[in-house]
Amino acid sequence: MTELRLATISTGAISHNVETLRALVAPAQVMAVVKANGYGHGALESARAALAGGADWLGVADLTEAFALRNAGIDAPLLAWLHQPGAAFSEAVRAKVELGISNIAQLTEVAAASGTACVHLKVDTGLHRNGAALGDWQQFFEAAVEHELAGRLRVRGIWSHLANAGDEHDAKQIEQFAAAIAMAESVGLRPEFRHLAASEGAIKHPDARFNLVRLGISTYGLAPSDDVDAAALGLVPAMTLSAPVISVKRASAGEGVSYGFDFHCETDTTLALVPLGYGDGVPRQASNRGPVSINGVTGRIAGRVAMDQIVVDMGDVPVAVGDRAVLFGDSSSASDLSNSSGASNFSNSATASMSVPSADNWAAAAGTINYEIVTRIGQRVVRRYEP
């Protein structure tokens, strides 16, 4: 049966990306981050693929995500770092989930949990989100030493997060993180792992790698910033989002399309209806701009993105019900869901191309980032996994 809404995920691409990045950052170890349902790709399947590619660690945001992996049989080293008061720390210890800890209150809670927790102490080096503030470092580290000597926990790591605000700011944060490590060691801590860099820092700043890096969006083949060329690094986008065309009609020049008639046809044109909308994670901000490839030709959304559907202006390109419409995928090569038939006669609204749009193209159309494009894909969309 043809899926109405389909995200095709290449687990082979995820494994390849981890293997490629692991070679780049060596000898540092690699943590593949699979939070938020693996950035929309599926947490469990992404975790397995990342481990197959050589990931040493997995990272998630919270304990619910961590327990789901453990319950599915994933036994790799696993770190979770966003915790509400009263979090299930004792259960985390039993499940061998390591804990990112950001303040003394959390440290006290973890020390009171049953068993001996493995913790990674987070320090704020300038991002001003989670992590102990500079003025609290000494007390934070001294409390950790006290708990460690009493056998209540084990300090396995110390970590922070770059703001990616430019080379100058990154350099200051790298320097401050090194100072935090020195302070921790001065009071008697000997953390095995020191990690600061996520995808962008790991790729751009070798001195930010220390001995562990956390790879998020790059695991899925997408660039962490505009000045990183994912394809040049050898990364392959893992997700292709598609749906079948379910209606085709001709519209005359001047006719309006979709709610509010924000779009009017410039010429007589073919309109293809595709059953993906903002209910599936297609950003409404991409109305009138989002690119869609059908039969090897890229058209654009005509009118507003609706909850369940979009209309694509395909000019004079032959389109039939059942043809596959690809919103984004690997733009570096032709998609298996496309073909070149009928690509010789089209209006300015459709562009001949043997490749498909990318998540970056959609991010530009919606005024956002590729992270959001893939992560927001909804549960109505079926994930199909291929090697």
Q: CA 134, CA 121: separation in Å to the nearest integer?
A: 13
Instruction: Read off the DSSP letter of residue 132.
Output: B
Quick one: 73 and 160 in the same domain? yes
Has residue 155 got a pLDDT over 90?
A: yes
pLDDT value of position 352: 59
> Which residues are registered as beta bridge partners of 8?
240, 384
CATH number of the domain residue 121 falls in: 3.20.20.10
Quick one: 209 and 323 in the same domain? no
| Number of compact structural domains in the chain | 2
Mean pLDDT of 351-363: 84
**Per-residue tokens: 31:** 């943590």
**Per-residue tokens: 112:** 């009171």
Summarize pLDDT for 111-128 with one digit per residue, the tens.
999 999 999 999 999 999
**Per-residue tokens: 59:** 């990272």
pLDDT band of 332, cuts 50, 70, 90: confident
Has residue 85 got a pLDDT over 90?
A: yes
Summarize pLDDT for 289-317 with one digit per residue, the tens.
999 999 999 999 999 999 999 999 999 99
Q: CA 200, CA 217: separation in Å to the nearest integer?
A: 9
- Which regions of 260-334 does DSSP assign to beta strands (E)? 263-264, 269-274, 291-294, 297-301, 310-313, 324-328
Quick one: 265 and 380 in the same domain? yes
pLDDT band of 335, cuts 50, 70, 90: very low
Q: Which residues contact 53 (CB under 8 A, 6 or more apart)?
A: 14, 15, 16, 17, 18, 19, 22, 32
pLDDT value of position 2: 75
Mean pLDDT of 356-372: 98
Find out whether 239 is annotated in a ligand binding site.
no
- Burial label for 219, CB within 10 Å (0-12, 13-18, 19+), is buried
Q: Which domain holds residue 358?
A: 239-386
Q: CA 240, CA 370: separation in Å to the nearest integer?
A: 13
Cis peptide upstream of residue 27 (ω within 30 degrees of 0): yes
Quick one: 249 and 378 in the same domain? yes
Find out whether 129 is annotated in a ligand binding site.
yes
- Residue at 5 is within a domain: no
Q: CA 116, CA 134: separation in Å to the nearest integer?
A: 27
**Would strands 291-294 and 297-301 be described as parallel, antiparallel, or unpaired?**
antiparallel
Quick one: 209 and 98 in the same domain? yes
Q: At what angle do helices 137-149 and 104-112 cross, to 10 degrees?
A: 10
Collapsing DSSP states into helix, strand and coil, what is residue 364? Answer: helix
Quick one: 117 and 68 in the same domain? yes
- Residue at 144 is within a domain: yes
Average pLDDT, the chain: 94
- Residue at 188 is within a domain: yes
pLDDT value of position 349: 53
Asked if 131 contacts 160 with a C-beta cutoff of 8 angstroms, the reply is yes
pLDDT value of position 351: 65
Active site amino acids: 35, 259
pLDDT value of position 294: 97
